[in-house]
């Protein structure tokens, strides 16, 4: 199985990187895991609605360039469907069972995801209505992917 995160922006904080590296190492026994960073679009603090759409559109094009047709895509979106860890684990297991061996998760930039990215996604997932820094979301998502594999293995990690 191949699992990929396509994310906008660079990870700068060493403590987030250390956590992600640890879970990536743990995931290596279950799948090929990788993170692809695409550049974020420079955006001043105050943007008009059309300027915000332009920023999201440019980032969206960069994201879509990293996704193949065969990939099953989860878009992280506040209005996406919330799942319990067990439900998420079952989804991952079912995807693998029914021929989706390439799974991609997308984390957008500070303004969110362009409509064309949401349209390309097979599903939208939410980790709640909190707004989290995108760097922290990478760590949380990576841990939850690892947790899903551990749940599917019947490991006590989840308890």
Q: Please report, in range form, the residues annotated as the binding site for S-adenosyl-L-methionine.
A: 76, 108
State the burial class of residue 20 (Cβ atoms within 10 Å of its Cβ: 0-12, 13-18, 19+).
buried
Instruction: Pick out the residues of the known binding site.
Output: 76, 108
Q: Which two tokens stand for residue 108?
A: 């957008």
φ and ψ of 66, to 5 deg: -100, 5
DSSP H helices, the chain, are: 14-27, 49-64, 85-97, 115-120, 134-153
Strands 72-82 and 123-126: parallel
Q: Which two tokens stand for residue 40?
A: 């974020």
Quick check: 93 and 33 in contact, CB under 8 A? no
Distance CA 123, CA 103 (A): 11
Strands (E) in the chain, as ranges, are 2-8, 32-38, 72-82, 102-107, 123-126
């Amino acid at each position: 199985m191949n699992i990929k995160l396509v994310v906008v922006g660079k990870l700068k904080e060493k403590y987030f990187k250390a956590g992600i590296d640890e879970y990536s190492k743990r995931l290596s026994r279950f799948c090929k895991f990788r993170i692809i960073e695409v550049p974020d679009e420079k955006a001043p603090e105050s943007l008009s609605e059309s300027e915000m759409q332009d920023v999201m559109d440019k980032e969206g094009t960069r994201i879509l360039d990293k996704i193949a047709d065969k990939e099953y895509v989860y878009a992280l979106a506040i209005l996406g469907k919330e799942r319990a860890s067990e439900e998420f684990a079952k989804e991952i297991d079912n995807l693998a069972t029914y021929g989706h061996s390439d799974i991609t998760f997308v984390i957008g930039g500070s303004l969110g995801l362009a409509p064309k990215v949401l349209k390309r996604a097979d599903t939208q997932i939410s980790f709640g209505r909190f707004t989290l820094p995108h760097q922290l979301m990478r760590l949380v998502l990576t841990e939850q992917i690892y947790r899903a594999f551990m749940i599917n293995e019947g490991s006590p990690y989840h308890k």
